[in-house]
Structure 1
Amino acid sequence: MFPDDVDPQTEDSSLHGGRIRSFKHERGNWATYVYLPYHPVEEFGEFLDELLAAVKTHGVVLTPQEEFHISLSQTVVLRHHWIQPFTQSLKTGLAHCKRFMCSAEKLKVYCNAEKTRLGNDHTTQQHKHLLSEADIFYETVEQCNHRWCVLQDPSFHVSLAWCPGDATVQMQECLQQLQTLVDDHEEGPFTLRLDCVELRCRTGNKTFCFPLDS
């Protein structure tokens, strides 16, 4: 169903803008995570360019995300033969999860554990809904006999941009300036509003969509 030879992943970080993997890729291992997609309005791109230009004046060059979403989990590794039962169990677990609205309006700087990416992010509300769906993911992972450590006090967010290495100090120095740009936006506080109607699971190069109950 998911032949290993269609997985195009590579260890060459130069093909990924300097980003490196959290774990070594091995044939038959599928990097897997769940998320809520965000489809920005047209004006969003223009405003993001304004934010990144402001960051550049402080010596940090950020690359905008190619797509935007709220991650509900860390990336876990699943074996090829676990994918079908895993996605079926995830579908069952999410069957009664309701749709909800989610907003994000405060900028925050994040640096991942490997110090390879830095996101300029909006923190999110509606943690009760997000935690519930994240728990379903981890419970489903455990059913596949896969042990994983769940993050304590997760900070759900929409990553806006990234850079290789750890530029946390420089970003923190200009964070208030960026937040002022957000708050003074001509349409008022620049709030991301997500109509969360489906959860997605990406595993390897496959994406599965799970509509939430209306």
Structure 2
Amino acid sequence: MLVGYSSSSGSSGSDEESEAGALTDNSKRRHDVDHGGSSVSKKLKAEEPTSETRLPVPRCLLDMFPEEGDPQTDGSSLHGGRLRSFKHERGNWATCVYFPYHPHEEFSELLEELLEAVAARDVVLTPQTEFHLSLSQTVVLRHHWIQPFTQSLRPRLVHCRRFVCSAGTLRVYCNAEKTRTFLGMEVSTGQAQLLEVVKAVDQTMAEFRLETFYKEPSFHVSLAWCVGDFTKQLKDSLQELQSLADDHEDGPFLLRVDCRELRCKAGNKTFGLPLGP
């Protein structure tokens, strides 16, 4: 509390008078506070923020957490005409497990020849942007399940040894909804090792009550796709397409997948899960 003191050079006012004046001023202040009579107190109360004046969350913060931001659209025009197998819901992450395949020049040349041959039969295929060998169906994970899911899968893969599998036989595949048709290469060696890895993946899927892999899987690497069911047209041209793959200077083309590290992709997040030595 501030107390007024007389100047040492002043000629009037005793210490008792100064102290009495200070006590009187303090009493008035307490009276104002107790009875809400202070104009300052009233002003502060009037300026207290309310929930109606809450500022919006900055866009830069929303972009840091996309699952809490704007909902994704299900429009097929944004996905090359592809249709979702399940409706998008905020917080749900489409998840799959696979081995990646890294193409080389010989593969790229063969794929171009295959697409041209198919186009001559009035079927237009779109090449895959990324090539992989699937070891799970596409399932839905909640965002907070992703870390526990990968943590459950990682120790199970340590007991699976690294290996190399190969594929060279062209096959036609169509999804269950008959909305997309694929041209792929079926695995010919390494199936036993792939089944061992699938067993480990299925154990984690079952732990999270998710759908396991197919009972009799046809392990393959998808090369290209188109919207709709064009199974018959592509199967009619399989013999011609297989000839393109087999008639090479160095012998039949063989696609090799180095199975060292499994990938788990959940939405826009990808996790590497190495196999054992």
Question: In 1, are the aligned partners of 2:135 and 2:213 still within 8 Å (CA)?
Answer: no
Is 1:30 the counterpart of 2:93? The answer is yes
Instruction: Identify the match of residue 262 of structure 2 among 195, 199, 206.
Output: 199
- What does residue range 98-109 of structure 1 map to in structure 2 within 5 Å? 98-109=161-172
Aligned partner of 1:49 in structure 2 is: 112
What 5-or-longer segments of structure 1 have no aligned partner? none
SS in 2 for 1:163: strand
* CA apart distance, 1:54: 0.3
Q: Distance in 2 between matches of 1:44 and 1:18?
A: 26
Aligned partner of 1:61 in structure 2 is: 124
Aligned partner of 1:88 in structure 2 is: 151
Question: In 1, are the aligned partners of 2:245 and 2:253 still within 8 Å (CA)?
Answer: yes
* CA apart distance, 1:150: 3.6
Of residues 39-48 and 1-10 in structure 1, the stretch that sits farther from structure 2 once superposed is 1-10
Q: Distance in 2 between matches of 1:6 and 1:55?
A: 41
Of residues 176-185 and 40-49 in structure 1, the stretch that sits farther from structure 2 once superposed is 40-49
Instruction: Identify the match of residue 202 of structure 2 among 138, 145, 164.
Output: 138
Could you list the structure 1 runs, at least 4 aligned residues long, displaced by more than 6 angstroms after superposition: none
* CA apart distance, 1:7: 8.6
Q: Distance in 2 between matches of 1:127 and 1:154?
A: 10
Larger Cα-atom Rg:
2
Instruction: Identify the match of residue 190 of structure 2 among 126, 135, 142.
Output: 126
What 5-or-longer segments of structure 2 have no aligned partner? 1-63
Corresponding letter in the other structure for 1:183: D
Q: Distance in 1 between matches of 2:69 and 2:128?
A: 24
SS in 1 for 2:202: helix
Q: Distance in 1 between matches of 2:106 and 2:213?
A: 36
User: TM-score, normalization: structure 2?
Assistant: 0.73
Q: Distance in 2 between matches of 1:9 and 1:205?
A: 13
Distance 1:132 1:9, change over 3 A: farther
Count of matched residue positions in the alignment of Structure 1 and Structure 2: 213
User: TM-score, normalization: structure 1?
Assistant: 0.94
Question: In 2, are the aligned partners of 1:7 and 1:204 still within 8 Å (CA)?
Answer: no
Is 1:73 the counterpart of 2:147? The answer is no
Instruction: Report which of the two has the higher share of strand.
Output: 1
Corresponding letter in the other structure for 1:137: V
CA deviation vs aligned residue, 1:102-142 (integer Å, no higher than 9, x gap): 00000000011122221111100312111121121221122
Instruction: Identify the match of residue 81 of structure 2 among 11, 18, 24.
Output: 18
- More RCO (CA 8 Å, sep 6+): 1
Q: Distance in 2 between matches of 1:2 and 1:208?
A: 18
* CA apart distance, 1:74: 0.5
| Superposition CA RMSD, Å | 1.7
Distance 1:49 1:7, change over 3 A: farther
Question: In 2, are the aligned partners of 1:2 and 1:80 still within 8 Å (CA)?
Answer: no
Distance 1:181 1:44, change over 3 A: same
